[in-house]
Structure 1
Amino acid sequence: MRTDTDPSPGAEKTATVAGPSPGAPDAPVRQLPAADVYTALHTSRRGLAPAQAQERLKRYGANELPRARRRPVWRELGAQFTDLFAVVLLVASAITFLAYGLQEPREVGTLQLAVAILAVVVLNAAIGFAQEYSAERTAQALEAMVPHTCRVLRGGERLEVPARDLVPGDVVVLEAGDAVSADCRVVEAHELAVNNAPLTGESNAVGRTADPVATGPALEARNCVFMGTDVVAGAGRAVVYATGSTTEFGRIYRLAAAAPRQKTPLQHQVAVMARRVAGAALAIGALMFAVRLPTGQSVVSSFVFALGVMVALVPEGLPATLSVSLAIGVRRMARRQALIKRLLAVEALGSTTVVCTDKTGTLTQAEMTVTRVWAGGVTHAVTGVGYAPDGEVAEPGPVRELLRVAGLCCDARLVAPAGPRERWKVLGDTTEGALLVVAAKGGVELEAEEEAAPRVTEFPFDSDRKLMTTVHKAGAGYQACVKGAPVELLARCTDREWDGRRGQLTERDRAAVVAAGDELASQGLRVLAVARRELDSPRPAQDEAESGLTLLGLVGMLDPPRPEVTDAVAACRRAGIRIVMVTGDHPLTGEAVARRVGIVQRPDPVVVTGSGLDGMGDEALDALLAEPSELLLCRVSPEHKMRVVTAFQRRGEVVAVTGDGANDAPALKHADIGVAMGAAGTDVAREAAAMVLLDDSFASIAAAVRLGRAVYQNIRKFLVYLFSHNIGELVPILAATFAGFPLVPISAVQILAIDLGSDVLPALALGAEPPEPDVMDRPPRSRQERLFSAAVMGRILFLGGIQAIGVTAVFFWHIGASGIPFDDFTKDTPVYREAITMVQAGIVLSQFFNALAVRTDRQSIRKVGLLSNPALLAAGGFGVALMAAISYLPPLQTVFNTAPLTAGDWAVLAGLGTLPLLADETRKAWLRRRDARRKGAPR
């Protein structure tokens, strides 16, 4: 038969067969009477026979969502070699191996160079793979949400079976507190209510019925329950009609799987940078080959020379440095309860310009709480948040009877925490849980009251009446306790009792009650009215029990915001990040919560519902998002969320989306950075997201944005550090070429030793610099902003130029002081070996001081402290020690063709090395003076 999972408007149509075999009626099972459902799904009230269940399990497959396809490990590792830098170096290594084979005689140095370049590529790939693999596997360790077991009837026997073994036709037994394991048609309902928040975003309990309903969106069918939701009240039985990926939960999962994963701004910037650097390296290498060839050098030697130039320009250590720096950000965020699944998502957070956040469970605690009690014109405030009975009702005496009656008219139960890490929970309807808590806060001992007034009968909540009534033994008579929608209940009241004084309910009183209800509702509160009636019979007719009532008052409740969210929203506002609430909840509720947490501050926010979005074309939607107004999107579907995210991205925004339900998954995946809740979130949401908040706190987003911005700043710092010394390596080679010197001032193997041996660790230490104090007071950078901005390039040329002048001067000074003609120099000439050793040592020492210079953009190094980053000092010391080993140890002298340096040589090089730091301190001082003059303030 056809599935009973018709999507909501705008969703894809599901054609997958969800029920058994042919012969089933054309009408969806929700339109059938309960008795006919068994026939339609080829089962019975006793459930399937065990043999039938096994046959259907083979036929329909396990009741589980398909695992996300992951590339095999070998492919993930292979992907590390497709980076443009890696490709350039692999080609260079291959050609160098070829050059070694063509050389006559063959030079060991050429073979060493080929092996060294290949080793660099392998090392970078190993580091990048290790970091990505570690982050991904950590994310996979999160538990799935779908329950592991459920209760079914099979052959008339009640059994507990694994949820994955459910099949269409199984009769499921449902009770308060159960998680629903498949999409089912309810056939018996006893005050049954479910929480559909994971699918719809609305946290209110929704009553279920066994009666047939008219056709319409599946999620609105009151006689169906869905995978991933929870039973919050009552009991019932239901017949499974859809399992696994054919469920509503599975439909959203497929929608999320189809959404493309967006590239982060850093991915775009690194790709652009790699193309430009690789292009420049190849062009300059080709130019040097063309210049050297006419001088009489052989083709092979000219090529090896050109290759050295190219290697000098390619930052071999950059991929590894970038991967490890992002990994440092991952670990820092993990300490703030934010699990990053993809390394590049760390930096994307720092680029975020828009956060689309849902409400329930993200901004709020998903725990209904009574905050106001009204009676007789007086509003009593209630303190405390959540289901813990901590807090009090202001002046509880006048409303004690109201609280007693409200507490008795409840089926839910409070569950105390079983351990120090657990919280109070509600077994049953969350609204009733809030009433039990407020009764306890008002001093009502409900257990004693229930013993004194035991329940004898009840009339469950009905969506038509919008009331619930319980009848209790009260002394010699009986008493009806009623709660429900204010309008419906007020129409059935004839009296009122306020502050212990009973009287007739006048028109003036009615107007006061309506006004009070409207006032509470305008604050975003869900309002219930409470009343009672004295009865003579324990089994009154429903109309008798619910008429001639005495009104006791009103209660107003809400799902309270998380206490830390307000500060987090304020921090995002200061950082120039726009926050848009995107929720499936009612507009009034959404606006009230948005005001409480600071998302809405103006009197006239723009509120658009899902139906309003359906009526907008793309141009109208773009115009709406372009307005600088405070925007709330309510009653939206998964398709609406994805459309909004796409529209923001069209405008060049970097979009973060938060969510915890399966309905959030498509938007989470499509966003630049999807942020899922780890504790209360669904497995579908966690799978789709790039970041998971282990503590479900929106405040962790603001902290993660701060760390993400710091990561980008640190990436720029080590880019300046890495590329500035490339200039120091390239300029001496170019100077030697145009001066007619036959040999290179620094070999390709020496360059690789600097790039990987001396530069990587300081670059990593720069990547661990803490965020600057004002990082959240700056606007987010534009998506179009280049990684190599004019300021960054200027600083690279400034610092690299000083290094280049120093080491070039040292080289030619040492060569010239020997008095040996250029043409007489060979690789084995002692003076030449000393000169190239001084060039390498000069670059290493300059980079040590350069690392100190680039730690800050404007602040003096004296203000941040020379010793405030001990890892940087240690890394720089390691580089100098490695350089000393290359200079003095015979085995390394053989590999690098170096010679021992004297104390005087080291002194000269140290003096030249300080020049970049001194020059940059002078530049920073000038910038600070200029800024002070512009602001008209003293320095």
Structure 2
Amino acid sequence: MGTGTPVLTPGDGGRGPTAPSGTRAPVVQTLPAEKVFAALDTSPRGLASADAAARRDRFGPNELPPAGHRGLWRDLVGQFTDLFAVVLLVASAITFLAYGLQEPRDVGTLQLAVAILGVVVLNAAIGFAQEYSAERTAESLQAMVPHTCRVLRDGERRELPARELVPGDVVVLEAGDAVSADCRLVEAHEASVNNAALTGESDAVGRTADPVAAGPVLQARNCVFMGTDVVAGSAKAVVFATGAATEFGGIFRLAAAAPRQKTPLQRQVASMARRVACTALAIGAALFAVRVPTGQPFVETFVFALGVMVALVPEGLPATLSVSLAIGVRRMARQHALVKQLLAVEALGSTTVVCTDKTGTLTQAEMTVVQVWAGGVPHAVSGVGYAPVGDVADPQPVRDLLRAAGLCCNARLVPPSDRQGWRVLGDTTEGALLVAAAKAGLSLAAEEAAAPRVAEFPFDSTRKLMSTVHATTGSRGYSAYVKGAPQELLARCTAIDWRGERQPLADELRTAVTTANDQLASQGLRVLAAASRPLADSHPAQDEAESDLTFLGLVGMLDPPRPEVSDAVDACRHAGIRIVMVTGDHPLTAEAVARRVGIVRGPAPIVVTGTRLDDLDETRLDGLLAESGELLLCRVSPEHKMRVVTALQRRGEVVAVTGDGANDAPALKHADIGVAMGASGTDVAREAAVMVLLDDSFASITTAVRLGRSVYQNIRKFLIYLFSHNIAELMPILAATFAGFPLVPITAVQILAIDLGSDVLPALALGAEPPEPDVMDRPPRSRRERLFSAAAMGRILFLGGIQSLGVCAVFFWHIHASGIPYSDFTEDNTVYREAITMVQAGIVVSQFFNALAVRTDRQSVFRIGVLSNPWLLAAGCFGLALMAAISYLPPLQAVFHTAPLNAADWAVLAGFGALLLAAEESRKGWLRHRPGSRKEGAP
């Protein structure tokens, strides 16, 4: 192709190609299909590879531009505009002002102001690093699910990344595909698209390959656009706009610039943190009101109360939450579960029901025909997988059957490459039919050349059939070939090919076909039937093409269960998660597979077909779902699947739904967790879901649930860790105030040092805690459960109370042991400085043991291994090292008014810390062994 021919230029919005001279070429939508190729400088064979590469260099990749980023410095500045950051900045400014008003000036006030500012800077740095990391993670995870499309290049059908599309490419579209660029249709077979992404209208709109009048390209019925979905039929189209030049490109830029929304969990934590901040303010005001009447200087008392208030605010909580969620997302991605929304991480932990399909999720999605039935005689088929290696026993009687089934397919077998073996491009069931035809000695390429397809009626879930019309030689003119569900097809047949002869389909022959179908299905085989009829017209009505058919036979194929699924199903049972199989297959086939993987273990599962669902009203459906037996839903449509999901949610269940087809999209969107197949699923299903299984395996769902439960537990762990030691910081101050001691047991600067040195890092390490061994042995968490449940609050008070008793004991023990009256103590008194050093060190040491204690809810920390979270140990050791430096280094002693501790002091503090861990281990042991502990949620 010459480069001087008019080619569409990005930026014209699909209005038509622009010639090099700048004159407008004919508008592409007004041209007949056969002239579109010349207008866009391509051909029905597609582009040559060299030409496609040149156009890619000219037009760039077919991808939408990223949203305009504010820049790193703007992100950094944004960290200082957060509510907590503003509060702390104001507090720091007030403290600086108080320092300026003091006479004489107290260097401690200046140190406090600097410490508060240090908290702001540290939290801003952590928040900035987390957001930057999250953006990079999102980009890398998105690349794990490449969007592909089927393209004609050099006359061959290929599967390419969507970003490699260029204007002039000829693409092949089928139901379930997402349209990857703006295209002009040149063939359309009952095609319809969902333009909701562009127009907001969710109803499917029919498409045609015929020319239409000039006008807005978005209204052209012979065009399809990036971001829309093919919901029915099939088509071929020529790309005329890619990337930013598409209609969707402009909309995307507006949407990408919209601010990121917080998840409900993040909002819950932020709301809780604000309430805690208000509580801290009230406590600071109360301390100020109590200490002023005792004769303490006004400014010093105000500064102290302000420092205590600031120290009790959980400044780093939102950042720590986001880090924990991001860690969960990355962990799931490593286990082949790509989570597209942080909210899904939380919801996974409370999943109570999984509605799973069969093919590809429970099975390997490598259909293999193992038996063909025709004329009352079964014919075994050897060989496994998609390699056309094997034989059909006595193939001659079944060649007409396999020829009809093979011609009525849109899939294509792809020969092995250096990286992959034989594979199917398209539907796996159709791939199995193509392989069986090859094993019977048929060359479908030659058959297609002898009987070219002239019309198609695509498969849909309502009629459960697909039909194609072919031009044939001889007096018949044309023939229709139909394949689909045996019951549906048999009802449309009036004759049967019985041992080489066409006979009327009498009742006894119908019974023979039904019996053969049931026998194949009872073996766990998926069964398809094929039929044909002669036609006089090349474009008959669908009802004509699919009536008065001659039944040719049955094809039984096996999709082996995935070996890892049985263990995953067993894990779900232990976790209290109900598994409901929802499939379009025959009940016998569904039950056979369900028994193989362990979904069905009892003798009489509840098997419900789509026909029976139609007869049930809401009350009876609710009653059916409330039954405790093993449930299989078979021969169901997308509408049935959606109805079942809604009914389960109405009962208060948290429902995860798996799906791979375009018709699964409504149920995937409506479910609490929509799970799409990444390898075999359609683009529409992946777009509707919030989680994508990169390996299509049910076992990955179980792993994701396990990690989702772990994420929620980790969030609660670091909340318990943070607030329990906040109690230990506050109680000595209250005790000293009400005991009449004139000085404080711990200064505001010391409290801030704890927040800076030994709060944030252990909390982040707890957010990375691996799942507990028994996390899947507990029942699902209630969707109404709050982070601060009664059990969590009880644990905070339990741990905080022990820490408070320890630090209060060491403080007053050290004060009383000196024999000095309270009134004689001053800030420079050595005993007082040693006592407040022991209080600070006691909190830091107890934090180290507290971090170990909260690592598990019920299991002993010694069972999971004290060394199994090295980041937590490193964070704790850093806090202890900082405390030692504050105690022993003279410059830090001057800042914090501390004194060196001796070995006996450290031994006493370590003993209190060990006592805390022992008390918590005893509490966990009691929880594990008390009656009914399995039925209750973890604290």
TM-score w.r.t. length of structure 1: 0.72
3-state SS of 2:499 partner: strand
Alignment of 1:137-536 (within 5 A): 137-141=136-140, 142-143=142-143, 145=147, 264=263, 266-341=265-340, 343=342, 345-355=344-354, 369-370=368-369, 372-379=371-378, 387-389=386-388, 401=399, 405=403, 409=407, 413-420=412-419, 422-426=420-424, 432-440=430-438, 443-446=439-442, 456-457=450-451, 463=457, 466=467, 483-485=481-483, 496-497=498-499, 507=506, 510-516=509-515, 519=518, 525=526, 527-529=528-530
Answer yes or no: is 1:805 the counterpart of 2:805.
Answer: yes
Mapped contact 2:62–2:163 kept (Cα < 8 A): no
3-state SS of 1:931 partner: coil
Per-residue deviation at 1:780? 1.6
Cα distance in 1 between the residues matched to 2:886 and 2:254: 58
Instruction: Decide whether aligned partners of structure 1 residues 94 and 679 sit closer, same or farther in structure 2, where only a CA change above 3 A counts.
Output: farther
Q: Note the alpha carbon deviations across 1:462-509, whole angstroms, 9 max, x for none.
A: 549946668699xxx9999985347589957575228xxx79677366
Instruction: Decide whether aligned partners of structure 1 residues 289 and 670 sit closer, same or farther in structure 2, where only a CA change above 3 A counts.
Output: farther
Cα distance in 1 between the residues matched to 2:548 and 2:332: 60
Cα distance in 2 between the residues matched to 1:305 and 1:835: 18
Per-residue deviation at 1:708? 1.5
The amino acid of 2:351's aligned partner reads: T
3-state SS of 1:529 partner: strand
- 557-566 vs 713-722, which moves further: 557-566
Mapped contact 2:662–2:684 kept (Cα < 8 A): yes
The amino acid of 2:846's aligned partner reads: S
The amino acid of 1:777's aligned partner reads: D
3-state SS of 2:115 partner: helix
Alignment of 1:17-166 (within 5 A): 41=30, 45-47=34-36, 72=70, 80=79, 85-141=84-140, 142-143=142-143, 145=147
Per-residue deviation at 1:415? 1.5
Q: Report what 1:30 is aligned to.
A: none
The amino acid of 1:888's aligned partner reads: Y
Mapped contact 1:574–1:778 kept (Cα < 8 A): yes
Instruction: Decide whether aligned partners of structure 1 residues 199 and 727 sit closer, same or farther in structure 2, where only a CA change above 3 A counts.
Output: closer
Per-residue deviation at 1:418? 1.1
Cα distance in 2 between the residues matched to 1:842 and 1:906: 9
Per-residue deviation at 1:336? 0.7
Answer yes or no: is 1:730 the counterpart of 2:737.
Answer: no
The amino acid of 2:35's aligned partner reads: R
Cα distance in 2 between the residues matched to 1:529 and 1:669: 34
3-state SS of 2:418 partner: coil
The amino acid of 2:705's aligned partner reads: V
Q: Report what 2:841 is aligned to.
A: 841
Instruction: Decide whether aligned partners of structure 1 residues 148 and 900 sit closer, same or farther in structure 2, where only a CA change above 3 A counts.
Output: farther
Gaps of 5+ in 1: 1-16, 22-36, 54-60, 154-160, 201-206, 214-220, 534-544
Cα distance in 2 between the residues matched to 1:557 and 1:892: 76
Per-residue deviation at 1:286? 1.0
RMSD of the alignment, in Å? 6.1
Per-residue deviation at 1:757? 1.5
The amino acid of 2:327's aligned partner reads: I
3-state SS of 2:931 partner: helix
Cα distance in 1 between the residues matched to 2:67 and 2:688: 12
Instruction: Decide whether aligned partners of structure 1 residues 454 and 118 sit closer, same or farther in structure 2, where only a CA change above 3 A counts.
Output: closer
Per-residue deviation at 1:812? 1.8
Q: Note the alpha carbon deviations across 1:423-447, whole angstroms, 9 max, x for none.
A: 533457765532221245xx53445
Per-residue deviation at 1:551? 7.0
3-state SS of 1:772 partner: coil
3-state SS of 2:553 partner: strand
Per-residue deviation at 1:923? 3.0
The amino acid of 1:270's aligned partner reads: V
3-state SS of 1:901 partner: coil
Mapped contact 1:184–1:242 kept (Cα < 8 A): yes
Q: Note the alpha carbon deviations across 1:381-436, whole angstroms, 9 max, x for none.
A: 7687753447876x66686656764587578652123133x353345776553222
Instruction: Decide whether aligned partners of structure 1 residues 118 and 258 sit closer, same or farther in structure 2, where only a CA change above 3 A counts.
Output: closer
Cα distance in 2 between the residues matched to 1:746 and 1:774: 40
Instruction: Decide whether aligned partners of structure 1 residues 260 and 668 sit closer, same or farther in structure 2, where only a CA change above 3 A counts.
Output: farther
- 315-324 vs 455-464, which moves further: 455-464
Per-residue deviation at 1:848? 2.4
The amino acid of 2:784's aligned partner reads: Q
The amino acid of 1:744's aligned partner reads: V
Cα distance in 1 between the residues matched to 2:647 and 2:100: 57
The amino acid of 2:499's aligned partner reads: E
Mapped contact 2:13–2:247 kept (Cα < 8 A): no
Cα distance in 1 between the residues matched to 2:295 and 2:341: 52
Q: Report what 1:773 is aligned to.
A: 773
Instruction: Decide whether aligned partners of structure 1 residues 697 and 625 sit closer, same or farther in structure 2, where only a CA change above 3 A counts.
Output: same
Mapped contact 1:233–1:429 kept (Cα < 8 A): no
Instruction: Decide whether aligned partners of structure 1 residues 517 and 699 sit closer, same or farther in structure 2, where only a CA change above 3 A counts.
Output: same
Per-residue deviation at 1:128? 3.3
Q: Note the alpha carbon deviations across 1:901-931, whole angstroms, 9 max, x for none.
A: 1122222222222221232333344445543
3-state SS of 1:373 partner: strand
Q: Report what 1:704 is aligned to.
A: 704
TM-score w.r.t. length of structure 2: 0.72
Cα distance in 2 between the residues matched to 1:778 and 1:839: 39
Alignment of 1:738-753 (within 5 A): 738-753=738-753
Cα distance in 2 between the residues matched to 1:900 and 1:916: 24
Per-residue deviation at 1:562? 6.0
Cα distance in 2 between the residues matched to 1:575 and 1:253: 41
Mapped contact 1:728–1:801 kept (Cα < 8 A): yes
- 753-762 vs 523-532, which moves further: 523-532
Mapped contact 1:38–1:45 kept (Cα < 8 A): no
3-state SS of 1:414 partner: strand
Alignment of 1:884-903 (within 5 A): 884-903=884-903
- 235-244 vs 765-774, which moves further: 235-244
Alignment of 1:834-913 (within 5 A): 834-913=834-913
Q: Report what 1:830 is aligned to.
A: 830
- 804-813 vs 130-139, which moves further: 130-139
Cα distance in 1 between the residues matched to 2:861 and 2:40: 77
Mapped contact 2:184–2:240 kept (Cα < 8 A): yes
- 509-518 vs 701-710, which moves further: 509-518
Per-residue deviation at 1:306? 1.3
Instruction: Decide whether aligned partners of structure 1 residues 620 and 303 sit closer, same or farther in structure 2, where only a CA change above 3 A counts.
Output: farther
Cα distance in 1 between the residues matched to 2:657 and 2:933: 42
Cα distance in 1 between the residues matched to 2:31 and 2:730: 79
Cα distance in 2 between the residues matched to 1:72 and 1:674: 32
Alignment of 1:546-557 (within 5 A): 553-556=553-556
Instruction: Decide whether aligned partners of structure 1 residues 68 and 518 sit closer, same or farther in structure 2, where only a CA change above 3 A counts.
Output: farther
Cα distance in 1 between the residues matched to 2:309 and 2:546: 89
Alignment of 1:744-763 (within 5 A): 744-763=744-763
The amino acid of 1:444's aligned partner reads: A
Q: Report what 2:606 is aligned to.
A: 603
Gaps of 5+ in 2: 1-11, 17-25, 43-58, 156-161, 198-205, 213-219, 459-465, 535-544
The amino acid of 1:281's aligned partner reads: A
Q: Report what 2:542 is aligned to.
A: none
Q: Report what 1:204 is aligned to.
A: none
Cα distance in 1 between the residues matched to 2:77 and 2:339: 22
Cα distance in 1 between the residues matched to 2:677 and 2:561: 15
Mapped contact 2:803–2:846 kept (Cα < 8 A): yes
